[in-house]
Structures are given as C-alpha cells and as structure tokens.
Chain A
C-alpha cells in the first residue's frame, strides 16, 4: 500500500528520549493530523520523518521505500516536502526568489509541476508581494510563502508543522481553504496542530500524541464523541 508508514519510532535529543514507539500510517492522498500539546513530540515526529532528527530505532517507509536514516536532502528529493513551524523564510530574498529557491532539479512526484504562477494562483496574496523581501512579511504571508516554496519542489507528501500557530482567524480560514485545495489535487498531507477547529476542517484522520507516545488514532467523529479523551490530551472540551 503506498503512502507513509512510520513504525515503532524512538528518537532522542542527546540523552533525552523524546519519541516512544511512535507508529503512524497515512494512506496515499489522505490528510492526517497529529494533535498534541506543546512539547508532546509533534515537531520531533515530523523532523524524524524529514531526516532532521535521527531516530535511534524504528522504520519510516515512503511508498514502501525505507527513508529512515537518509539525509534531509535525499528525503526531499524522494518527494517529501517539509514546512517548518518557524517557516524559515529567507529574509534577504524576495517572495519570488524564495519560491525559486524551492525549485529542484530532482524528478517530480506530481503530474503537474508547480510554477511561481501556479503558487500565486493558490495564494493570490503572494502575487501582490512578488518583489518584497522576506524580512517584511506578516506571519500569514510567511506561512503561505513557506508552503508555496516547499510546493515548488513538487512533493507527493507534504509535512506541515503547526501551520496556523499564531495566525489571525481570517488567515486561518484562508489557509484551511487553500490546504483543502491541495488535498483535492491529490497531495498526501501530514500536519501537526493544536487548533482543533482548523484540523477538523481539513483532516480525514487524527492521531493524538502525548509525552512522545501515540494515544489515539481515529476519525474526528469518534474523537468528538469522547469528551474525556479530548479533555485529557488536548485540554479542551
């Protein structure tokens, strides 16, 4: 079965054990959310998949190909796109230049390749900022640019780390529409989030992570039916 499979992942930062036995399964062309509080292990999970944190044991399979232990460059070139929580826009480069850096010469994993114009079609707000340097963008603009820059590499799997953290409600709702469009285009998406409403609007399935362990896997319908579960792990409801 194509898609992303993460099995029994253990990741450490130095001597501190961060992820315990994390297993995730994400079907091809589906959108999955990793919910959890600050420090639960969401970022470390995404970084482990991207090769930015090195798991000590476990397996990561992308379309049945083992990518665990590969470098971030190689993982990116195999079709994984990563949008970090900090967005990391290149501040001296213009919006267009940031997008152009995201182009890569590696084979494309999508039928239709992305171009700067196609990104502007998805995020019209960015087109008006074409020549502005990254240092002078708002949080929402940075987030759109960061996603657009990663899309320029034509990934098949998109990893988004807390995409709407700290953004205004209007921007959150715009991003939810835009990410839904990506979903309809056939991208496989794994994103981490604390914002329940946003997650529910775009995800097919949800995993809950707490203290580095997966505590729940299922649909939002099932999760919503269990107020105790939401309260325990998400401090809501």
Chain B
C-alpha cells in the first residue's frame, strides 16, 4: 500500500522535477521565424555565427509559412521572418508589420527534372538527359509516367504546370502525368521508382534523391522560386537584429545554402 502511494505521488511530482531543466532564460533573445524547409541551412549558419561573434542568443521558430504569418499578425514577438514564398512577407508589409524596404532575397530554389534508373528503359531515358531537350525527353515514347505536385494545392505543382504550359505540352502529357499531394510525396514516388520522371525542387533532390540523375530546366520556363527575408517592425527597434540579418545574407551563409541545394537569391 505504501509503495503504491509513493509511486502515485512521485508520478505527480515528476513534471515539477523536469521543470528545472526546462526553465527559460531571462534575457529576451532574437526570434527568427522561418519556413521549415530552411531549417537545416539556418541551423548550420547559426553555428557559424556563434563561433564568429559573441552576439546575443538567437532562437528559431520553424513551421509552415501560413502559421508563421498568423503568429506575427497576432502580436507574436518575432524579429526576423523568412517564409517560403514572397507573398507572406508582402501581406505583412501591407499591414505595417514588416519593415518597409527591408526585404531581401535570402535564397532561391530551382526546378529539376529527375529520372529514376529502373531497368533498361530507365537507363535509356536517363541517357537522353545529356543530349536532348526537355521537350523531347518528356514526349519520348518510353516515358510512361511523370509525377508532379498537384497544381491545385501545392506550389511545386504550380511551377511544374507553368513549365508544361510554356512548353505547350500540357494536353499531350495528360496521359502520362501523375499528381502527388505535396513535394514530399513527389520525392517518395521517385524514390520508390513508381514513375519514370518527376519534377522536384533542387533542394529536395539534394537531400533525398542525389543518387538519381537530374536535368536542369530553363529558368525562363517558370516564375522564380524566391525565399525572401525581412525584419519585422518590432525587430527593427531591437539591438543585434540587423547584425544577424546581414550575416544571413553574407557570402558565408550563401555558401551554406548552396550546399543544401539552394540557389542564390536574386
């Protein structure tokens, strides 16, 4: 009986014990809200930053751009905002929450054509990557299935749609196209060799598909995929924010972004 009482009470006390190791520091850190797709390069940049300067404590907040925007709109104490697409910054700028004229391009992404290497057919398709045009590759009879994101719901699908339209191939490719719900699913289809070709972000290729051959798609076939960054109205008033902001735009940072498959922001 004693034992069970003891166990029950200790279960109750456990959270309080954990409280010690979880308590927050008193000084107010700089908070950077960033799209979750930027997590790895940003954390690495932060490590570099910590080595080079004794600047203040920086905290990151990673989520979907929509959620991040909503947090700032409702008074969240964010100093720097780096969404996955310019529209979020623009909307906040209109509301006066982002420092005007403070927007900068942080990074950019590219669209790549990926081929799986399954069997002879796969290898033959891949061999076309060196000599032929993207059009020819897509239309080739040996290509049976092409996966792209659903243009109705995800940006990566919308970019693919733009490419097909500019090449005037949309109607002809209807039979071959397979829609995936999001970027991750596109990657999955390619990884599992369920399809012959796919259109993905360069960063996704870098991370998960680097064993597969790729072919660049001309940048004028789709609107630029930009990752902008801005200082919030609140951030502008606080010390140290500009310093870190500029560091994020420095050549050293750009190098780190490149390593993760991001192109330079324009």
Are both chains from one complex? no
A contact residues vs B (CB 8 Å cutoff) = none
